[in-house]
Each structure stands twice: as structure tokens, then as C-alpha cells.
Structure 1
Amino acid sequence: MAGVISGRLAAIIHHHHHHHTTLIPTHLHQQPTIKLPTIHARRPSTMSASAITPTTSLDNLTIQPTIPSSGCWSEFAGNISGEWDGFGADFTVDGKPIELPENVVPNAYREWEVQVFDWQTQCPTLAQPDNSSVIYKLVRLLPTVGCEADAATRYSVEERVIGGEDNMVSSFAYQASGCYTAVWSTQKSASLKVLELEHCLIDPRDKESRVRVIQIVSVEGNKLVLKNIKVFVEQWYGPFRNGDQLGGCAIRDSAFATTKVLNGSEVSGVWQRSNSIARFQDSPNILQELVAVDGIEKSARDADSLVLLPRNLWSSKVELEDGEKTCCEVGWLLEPGRAITSKCVFSINAELKEIIVSSETAA
């Protein structure tokens, strides 16, 4: 059974007798009173990406436009910028959660045979509204017992740059809403390339809530092989502060890695969708707006081809048109009969053809 220990972690107790229960040591029941930073109760409809000046080397970042700025980019920059905090977890290609390394888990949890699967995370993000560039950090915080003073101790920090002279992304497609899909490429060796397909989906009913699902795919010859999946469930906590704000028990959400997975029958069958597309094949632009196309498409989805994940999420990799295309898809079931999806479509040579973000309803 999954549970939250002191607002920080989801844990599963595995006893030798296979009896599962959530166990909290008695000294954890006493929650200290902590003073939290003031945060905005509601997100402003239009947010300046530079509302709060960053306090680190990000100040000195020189950014060159990659494509001409537009009203869509400015709106996207406002919706993506800020402090996105939450939880993250890794999953196998079968959708099984992967336990955190033993060396980061507090002794108290190991003594009680607690397995920890979720990181608490921060993702401070700053997009420039006047030129096409984004910089964000993925911060993983060390697990702690309760709301301790060191609840925000960082385990790792990974910084990524989109656009400008320090660009790190291979392809990037975005919508004004704050949704985006990014392809990150790493050449591990002369014969091995690894792609990270990052799908960021914003809840259209609540733009302070989003998920990021990253499919780790190796390119073996011309074949794409899914290796594992990373999931981040995040909420917006205020304008950009370069991660210098929340942590510990201030997080509104809870850990999710061991919670119930999506029921495949809820997303299988015939669905109809309206698409927004960015086409990258034979295009010099690595940053592109997702442009809505006319018409409604219908397609069938087979539950057997899906990796079912918690929080009503799924991942899939399927071959289309007799192997002429490979489609890597991530989906989020918002409510029964309604979903949003993001797809990266690759050619037979494992080259990105297009990115498609769709609003879907059950037919």
C-alpha cells in the first residue's frame, strides 16, 4: 500500500511475511511548525518571465534568437516560466517503478524496511518572451525523515538550455498553453546514440498543473528501442526564483510512483482527435510552433501496446505503415473520454519527421 511519510515520500513496507502496510516510526508523528515563504494563491493570467530576477549565473546568459519571436512564443514563455515543484520517479519499460539508490535513503527508512521510489523535485524555468530561449534546472532533493531543516538538500542539479548560442536541444515544439515536446540527443559512443523524448503536458483545466514524461530511447542502427521512462508530476508555485523557495512539507502534491496505474480499457478503442503539428523533416528550424490543422482524425488504440503508468498516464512506441514510421507517444487521461497526447514520429532511418500534440475524445 502506498502512503506519504511526513508529506515527503511515498513508501512501501515489504515484510518477510509479505504483509504490506504503511509504517511510520512514532517519532515522526510530531510535525514541527515551519514558516513557509509567501506564494501566490492564484497564477496571474499573463505572467512576466522576468518577474523576479535570477540570482545566479543565469543572469549573465547571452541568448540569441533561434527563430523570429511571435505572440505565441511570448504567451508560451509566460506560461512555462516559474517554479514548478513536485515529485519524480523512474519506471521500467513494463511500467514498474524503480527504487531510489540505497545510498540516498535515510537509515530510518532502511531500518524499517521501507522502499522509496519518489524523488521530491524542483524545476525552476525561465523563458525569455522577446527571443526564443528557455533555461531550466531539474533539481532532485535528498529524501529526509519529516520536515527537517535540511529538507531542501540537493542531491543533483541538471541544467538544460533551449535556443540561443548555448542551445542543447535537437528539436523543440511548443504551444502557447505551455505544452512542449523536446528531443534531446546524446552520442554515447560511435555506434550508440540515446534520445530523451520529453513530453510536457499542461492540464487545460488548470494551467498550474502539468506532467512531464521522458521516454529514454536508444538508436540501434535504424531501430528505436525504449529503455525506460521518467515521470514528473509538478505544480506551479510562483514566478521564477531559480529554485530558491519551497521544499519539504510545503509541496501540495504527494508521491505517486506506487499508486494505482491507468486502466488500459479507459483509453483503448476508437478515439477522435484534433491535431497541432510541427514538421522537422528537411527543416532548418529546431524550434517550431505547434500549428493547429483542420479536421478531425479517428484512430484505434490497443491497450496491449501501452505502458500503463500512475496518474492516468501512458507511454507507447509503435511501428506504423509496415515499419516505415515509428511513433513514440505519451498520453494523459484528463477525465473519462477525454485525453491529451504528444507524439514524436520518426522515419525508417530513425530521423524525426514531426511532433504532434492532440486533444482527444472517445469516439
Structure 2
Amino acid sequence: MVLAASSVISHNRTINSLAFPLPKRRNIAVNHHQHHSKVYLHSFPRLHDVYQCSNSKTFNPSCLAKTAVSDVQLHNPNPTTATAAAANAWSEFARNVSGEWDGFGADFSIEGSPIELPESVVPEAYRDWEVKVYDWQTQCPTLAEPGEKVMTYKTIKLLPTVGCEADAATRYSMDERNIVGVDNKVSAFAYQASGCYTAIWPVADNGTHELWELEHCLINPRDKESRVRIIQVVRVDGTKLVLQNIRVFCEQWYGPFRNGDQLGGCAIRDSAFAPTATTKASDIIGEWQGPNAVATFDGSGDIFLQELKDNGSLKSIRDESNLILLPKQLWCAIKESGGETCSEVGWLFDQGCAITSRCSFSSEGKLKEVSVARETTVSEDVYHQMI
């Protein structure tokens, strides 16, 4: 359990996203020991970006998007500068994603209903009081190496306890994930300097169909010590992705990486959320716009680690079609259009302000694109001017 010293990571937790900047937090230097639903999107390159436009046309990059864009040719940057920028982006991501993330997690049906924990893990006192328990208390110690594009984290579920016995909670399960390295299990990973990431995890099949986990990790743009992870578990049915269930983790940053050795316990800043009120559809549907960061994939799987890079401004229209409303101002959806499939998750972190993550798959079931956008609602007058 003791980790070999591998690097010194500065946990100043500053966020300098290529898509949109976030406020900064105090500097903390520590030594780490490593043990290891219908949506239309319109994208417009920013005027100050280094693009050379040749002509305009309309294309459909995903089943959720009908995007009006211009054919663009990116000027070849200085290779040394580009390499340094990529290294800096990963280093910033490593600082912002690493640490002890504690909170609560719960499973939901495809209708968005919370799923009770197994009776065998619920304390007798709760059963006697006929109290239903839906949430696990969780830990997610995460370590990304700033000098190497390697990352590992554990999702630890703790047995439910009564009262402040949480300070002496017992581990129920631990799921360790590795990105890059000899133990890599991820098939695609897109990251942003802010600490947001999206990962595609092939998991053991059920005997008939392969299962994938589409993991979307979103950092609160106004509080970089708060994040959510929404995992869409999908069954691969030929070239179709069929949603099976949803997992949600709401987490707070409690300090530098300690490999899960210290638990927030009763000092935890959050509470169980699964049975609480779901997001209002009226707060989500409508016109949205905002800066968008994109990572593209060729479907071969040869290059599975990509940075989410600024792609100008996104414009979208969202309705209730296939929308799954979740607690904590969260939602998700999986849509099909023209043979393509798109998954979307979103977090309404303030009224009229959301951060979203999308995965677009081709008609062959290959990942084409991952995007993360910070969106704000658009008034009807402004929207009609934009189109």
C-alpha cells in the first residue's frame, strides 16, 4: 500500500483551460508516493484562432449535431511550440485531476430512477426503521503524472454506516483504472487542462454482448474542488449502443493524493443525493451557446489519448427527446440519427449555465469525436440573430 516516490506534483489546482479559464486556488506543494434530447450544434471558429477558410458547407458530425462550419486549414505550428503546449496542457490537467476526491455515488435506471443498495450491505438499524438506502459513500484517489501521460485512480465504495461511524467505514469494493502504461484498459481518453475528461472503458461482456462504460468527468467551472462523474453503461449490439444503466458520483476535493488512506468521514462536505429531486426539464431545454473544446479520433484505436482543444463557439438547441433527468442538476441522453449515435451528459451548475460532455460514434460504432462545452442559455432574439 505504500507508494514509491515518483514525482512532486504541485497542487495549486489552478485551471487554465484551453476552452475557458477558471478561477485559481491556493498553492500547495506536496510529495506524492505512487502505488500505483434532440440537440442541434453549430460551431463557429473564433476570429483570433489561426485558421485559413476556403469555403463553407454544412455537414453532420454526429447524430446530435447539425453543424454549420467552414472548411478550415490549420496553419502548421512550430513543432517545438506545439509539443510544449501539449506537455503544458497535460501537466495542468495532472495538477487539477490529482488528489483525494470523496463523496457519494449511486446507480440509476435508464428512466432515471435511483436503485437501492443490496439489502445485505444496509445496516440493520436502517432496515428496522424501513429506511431505503441508495447511496454509497465513496473515495476516488487519483494520480496523474505531470511529466508522463500516465494516470491511475480507484473508485472505492464504503459500506453504509449509521451516524458518524462513517469515520471508521469499511471498504466494500475497489475498482482500479489505469490510463496508459502496461495496465492500460481505456480504449479512448480525452482530457482538458481544467481536469475534465471523458473515457471509454470496454468492460467484461455479459456472455452475449460487449459492455462499454462512457465516463464523463466534469469540473464545476466556478468551484474547481467540486466535480461529477457520470458513467453511461451501454451494451454494444452490433453497431448500436443501448443504454443499460447510469452511475453518478458527486465528489469534492479533500487534498493531495494519499491513495485513499484518509477518509473525509463526517467532515465530508456533501450528502447522499440519489432520492432527491431531479433536474427540471424546463431548465435544460431551449437554445444554448458557449466555448467548445474537441478531440477527434480516427476509429483505429492506435491513438487513444487526445487533448480537448479549443474549437470556437458552440450553439445548440435541446429538447426533451430521450432526456434522462437526474438529481444534483444533472442529465444525460443517448440519441441516434442517420445511423450515428451520440451520448451526452450535462451539469447545470448555475441557473442558465451548464457544462456538457458529448461522445459521437459513427454508423460503424467507432468513436469519432469527444467534446466538452461550457454553455449558457440564449435569448430568443439573440438566437435568431445567430442563425
TM-score, scaled relative to structure 1: 0.81
Match of 2:373 in 1: 358
Is 1:163 paired with 2:180?
yes
Tell me, what secondary structure is at the counterpart of 2:168?
A: coil
Is 1:90 paired with 2:107?
yes
Amino acid at match of 2:366: E
Amino acid at match of 1:52: H
Tell me, what secondary structure is at the counterpart of 1:121?
A: strand
Amino acid at match of 2:309: V
Instruction: Compute the displacement of 1:282 (Å).
Output: 4.6
Task: Point out 4+ residue stretches in structure 1 off by more than 6 angstroms.
Answer: none
Amino acid at match of 1:334: F
Match of 2:8 in 1: none
1:287 pairs, out of 305, 327, 334, with 305
Tell me, what secondary structure is at the counterpart of 1:131?
A: coil
Tell me, what secondary structure is at the counterpart of 1:76?
A: helix
Amino acid at match of 1:133: V
2:346 pairs, out of 305, 312, 331, with 331
Amino acid at match of 1:359: R
TM-score, scaled relative to structure 2: 0.76
Which runs of no fewer than 5 residues in structure 2 stay unpaired?
1-11, 14-24, 37-82, 379-387
Aligned length in residues: 308
Match of 1:298 in 2: 315
Tell me, in whole angstroms, the C-alpha distance in 1 between the residues paired with 2:366 and 2:261. 39
Is 1:345 paired with 2:325?
no
> Relative to structure 1, is the Cα distance of residues 191 and 110 closer, same or farther in structure 2, using a 3 angstrom cutoff?
closer
Instruction: Compute the displacement of 1:186 (Å).
Output: 2.3
Instruction: Compute the displacement of 1:129 (Å).
Output: 0.3
Q: Is the 8 A contact 2:167 2:266 kept in 1?
A: no
- What is the CA deviation profile of residues 56-106 of structure 1, one whole-angstrom value per residue up to 9, with x for unaligned ones? x42xxxxxxxx9960000000000000000000000000000000000001
Report % sequence identity.
59
2:33 pairs, out of 45, 49, 53, with 53
Is 1:257 paired with 2:274?
yes
Instruction: Compute the displacement of 1:359 (Å).
Output: 1.2
Tell me, what secondary structure is at the counterpart of 1:210?
A: strand
Match of 1:211 in 2: 228
**Cα root mean square deviation, aligned:** 1.9
> Relative to structure 1, is the Cα distance of residues 268 and 160 closer, same or farther in structure 2, using a 3 angstrom cutoff?
same
Amino acid at match of 1:344: C
Tell me, in whole angstroms, the C-alpha distance in 2 between the residues paired with 1:278 and 1:181. 10
Match of 1:61 in 2: none
Tell me, what secondary structure is at the counterpart of 1:305?
A: coil
Tell me, what secondary structure is at the counterpart of 2:162?
A: coil
Q: Going by fraction, where is strand more abundant, 1 or 2?
A: 2
Tell me, in whole angstroms, the C-alpha distance in 1 between the residues paired with 2:115 and 2:270. 20
Tell me, in whole angstroms, the C-alpha distance in 2 between the residues paired with 1:47 and 1:126. 15
Is 1:173 paired with 2:190?
yes
